[in-house]
């Protein structure tokens, strides 16, 4: 018998523990702005159970205290002082509305919120309830939600206005009853969040329910960079809609750091290929983009790749010959406008180079006595000029690798000094140039 009692007691305890665990594992209903918010807002009060007189309607609330904990109500009376004081909806068991009174049931909090109704339409997380002043019979109650919709989403680029722009339509969508005039106009103010956003006008008034009573404002953003939104504020709370910029038609551009350089292969410049939006902002590519480069002459790569996530890349263009040369780029069906670079004849640079070589050669020590020394000095000057030109050209074209700044050599003073040194040290320069030219011939023969 004691054994039987212990077994019964153990079984009972096990059942209690299992029941308690099951109760603890049972999921709690979600709180806050839940997916059923739109339904709760529309079905806050029972229209079928309301009591109505000629001048007043009494609507029982259908939501439980838990269902109403994240909602509040504001009542604007047609008679008496205006008041926008909000009351927790859970504390209201029934709503009394006279003709001309407005009641707004909305989500708590000052944070902009909205409900997606489909077809790019958003609605404020609130419901407007009122008894029409022109009702033909007692017992008519109308409710509506404040809705917004962009005519174009994302915003298209307007070349004439130089901005992304479209219309924002705002209206009161009936959730019960028919399209009616409001007892009083509902003002709605608009604010821009983010840099470069615009809205015109900034304040409108809604006077009638339905699309017939809708109003439109012009919304725009100057650039595609950053986040921009428009916020509508009214008695129904705050509602926000993002202004997304369309691509506006991307363009491919080809630019050069210098518009003119010395020709004959003496100088090079950096050229840049970039993708930009219509507003001029950078347009990063989603995948690697190969850009084909074309030109009448010059040295440059045939293909330049813009890496994923980047909007531009650059390379080096080296001159070939003299005169104007045109370059252009193609990628993904886009063609960049032609870029013109002027390849200049190095007249002044050549003059200073020759002068430096002549002077360096003339100042070399002579081995002969007058009058033959004069003829030797003239000979050395000519040789110095030739070697000065060859040495400077070899360094600029990369045949002779020395630690000289190219910018120094491309200046008249720099060319004069370097050519003077070459003329002054003509024998060593001549031997080195001979070695370089011999190596180049062997490479060509191979």
Contact by Cβ (8 Å): 193, 229: yes
pLDDT value of position 33:
34
Could you give the 3-state DSSP secondary structure of residue 446? Answer: coil
pLDDT of residue 400: 73
CA distance 85 to 155: 37
11-31 mean pLDDT: 38
- Percentage of the chain with pLDDT > 90? 29
Model confidence at 147, pLDDT cuts 50, 70, 90, reads very high
Contact between 410 and 268 (Cβ < 8 Å): no
Do residues 153 and 183 make contact, with C-beta atoms less than 8 angstroms apart? Answer: no
Contacts of 23 (CB under 8 A, 6+ apart): none
Q: Has residue 27 got a pLDDT over 60?
A: no
Compute CA distances 170 → 14, 39, 147, 148, whole Å.
61, 21, 6, 4
What is the structure's pLDDT at 36?
A: 66
| Percent of the chain topping pLDDT 70 | 84
Confidence of residue 19 (pLDDT cuts 50, 70, 90): very low
What is the predicted pLDDT for the residue at 85? 82
> Does residue 121 surpass a pLDDT of 80?
yes
Average pLDDT in the chain:
82
Q: Would the pLDDT of 41 be above 90?
A: no
Which of the two residues, 254 and 278, has the higher pLDDT score? 254
Q: What are the pLDDT digits (tens) for 296-343? A: 999 999 999 999 999 999 999 999 999 999 999 999 888 999 999 999
Q: What is the mean pLDDT of residues 386-397?
A: 84
The residues facing 204 across adjacent strands are 188
Q: Which of 134-138, 205-209, 376-380 has the lowest mean pLDDT?
A: 134-138
Q: Give the highest mean pLDDT range of 198-202, 223-227, 418-422.
A: 198-202
User: What does the pLDDT average to over 380-384?
Assistant: 90
Domain edges within the chain: 37-242, 251-344, 347-439
Residue 12, both tokens? 């009972």
In this prediction, residue 24 carries a pLDDT of 40
Q: Rounded distance, CA 89 to CA 107, Å? A: 10
Is pLDDT of 22 > 70? no
d(CA 39, CA 67): 11
- Whether the per-residue pLDDT at 444 is higher than 80: the answer is no
Taking the C-alpha atoms of residue 16 and residue 6, their distance in angstroms, rounded to an integer, is 15
pLDDT for 29 equals 35
Q: Which fold has domain 251-344?
A: Immunoglobulin-like (2.60.40)
Average pLDDT over residues 366-371: 76
Contact between residue 353 and residue 389 where contact means Cβ atoms under 8 Å apart: yes
List the single range of 42-56, 222-236, 394-408 with lowest mean pLDDT: 394-408
- Put residue 12 in one of left, alpha, beta given phi > 0 → left and psi -120 to 50 → alpha: alpha
pLDDT at 16 over 60: no
pLDDT at residue 345 greater than cutoff 80: yes
Q: What is the mean pLDDT of residues 222-229?
A: 87
**What is the CB-side half-sphere exposure of residue 62 using CA atoms within 13 A?**
13
User: Which runs of E-coded beta strand occur in 222-310?
Assistant: 229-234, 237-242, 251-256, 260-262, 268-276, 289-295, 303-306
For range 188-213, the mean pLDDT: 93
Range 174-181 average pLDDT = 75
Q: How confident is the model at residue 4 (pLDDT cuts 50, 70, 90)?
A: very low
Give the mean model confidence (pLDDT) for residues 420-431: 88
Structure tokens at 302: 């045939």
Q: Closest by alpha carbon to 384, among 416, 362, 412, 415?
A: 362
Residue 11 has pLDDT above 70, yes or no: no
SS3 content of the chain, % helix, strand, coil (to 5): 25, 40, 35
The 3-class SS string of 372-434 reads HHHHHHHHHHHHHHHHHHHHHHHHHHCCCCCCCCHHHHCCHHHHHHHHHHHHHCHHHHHHHHH
pLDDT band at 25 (very low <50, low <70, confident <90, very high): very low
Over the stretch 247-266, which tens digit does the pLDDT of each residue have? Answer: 767 889 999 999 999 998 88
- Report residue 429's pLDDT band, with 50, 70 and 90 as the boundaries: confident
Residue 178's pLDDT is what?
67
């Amino acid at each position: 018998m004691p054994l039987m009692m212990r077994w019964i007691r153990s079984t009972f305890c096990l059942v209690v523990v299992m029941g308690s665990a099951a109760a603890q594992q049972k999921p709690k209903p979600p709180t806050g702005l839940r997916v059923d918010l739109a339904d709760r807002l529309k079905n806050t009060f029972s229209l079928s159970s309301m009591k109505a007189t000629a001048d007043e309607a009494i609507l029982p609330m259908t939501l439980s205290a838990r269902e109403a904990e994240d909602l509040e109500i504001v009542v604007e009376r047609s008679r008496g002082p205006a008041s926008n004081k909000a009351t927790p909806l859970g504390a209201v068991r029934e709503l009394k509305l006279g003709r001309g009174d407005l009641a707004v049931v909305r989500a708590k909090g000052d944070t902009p919120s909205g409900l997606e109704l489909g077809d790019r339409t958003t609605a404020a997380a609130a419901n407007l309830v009122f008894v029409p002043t022109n009702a033909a019979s007692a017992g008519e109650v109308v409710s509506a939600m404040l809705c917004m919709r962009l005519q174009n989403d994302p915003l298209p680029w307007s070349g004439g206005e130089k901005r992304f722009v479209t219309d924002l339509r705002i209206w009161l969508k009936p959730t019960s009853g028919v399209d009616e005039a409001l007892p009083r106009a509902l003002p709605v103010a608009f604010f821009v969040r983010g840099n470069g956003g615009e809205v015109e006008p900034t304040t409108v008034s809604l006077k009638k329910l339905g699309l017939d009573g809708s109003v439109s404002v012009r919304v725009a953003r100057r650039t595609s960079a950053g986040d921009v939104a428009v916020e509508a504020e009214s008695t129904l709370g705050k509602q926000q809609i993002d202004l997304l910029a369309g691509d506006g038609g991307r363009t491919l551009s080809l630019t050069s750091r210098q518009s003119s350089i010395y020709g004959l292969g003496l100088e090079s410049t950096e050229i840049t290929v970039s993708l930009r939006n219509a507003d001029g902002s950078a347009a990063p590519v989603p995948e690697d983009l190969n850009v084909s480069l074309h030109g009448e002459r010059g040295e440059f790569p045939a293909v330049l790749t813009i890496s994923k996530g980047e909007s531009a890349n650059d390379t080096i263009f080296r001159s070939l010959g003299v005169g104007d040369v045109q370059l252009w780029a193609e990628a993904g069906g886009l063609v960049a406008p032609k870029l013109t670079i002027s390849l200049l004849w190095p007249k002044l640079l050549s003059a200073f180079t020759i002068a430096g070589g002549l002077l360096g050669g003339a100042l070399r020590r002579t081995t002969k006595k007058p009058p033959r020394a004069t003829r030797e000095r003239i000979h050395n000057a000519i040789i110095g000029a030739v070697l000065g030109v060859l040495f400077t050209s070899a360094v600029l074209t990369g045949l002779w690798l020395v630690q000289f700044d190219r910018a120094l050599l491309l200046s008249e003073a720099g060319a004069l000094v370097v050519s003077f040194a070459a003329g002054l040290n003509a024998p060593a320069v001549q031997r080195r140039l001979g070695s370089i030219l011999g190596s180049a011939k062997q490479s060509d023969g191979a």
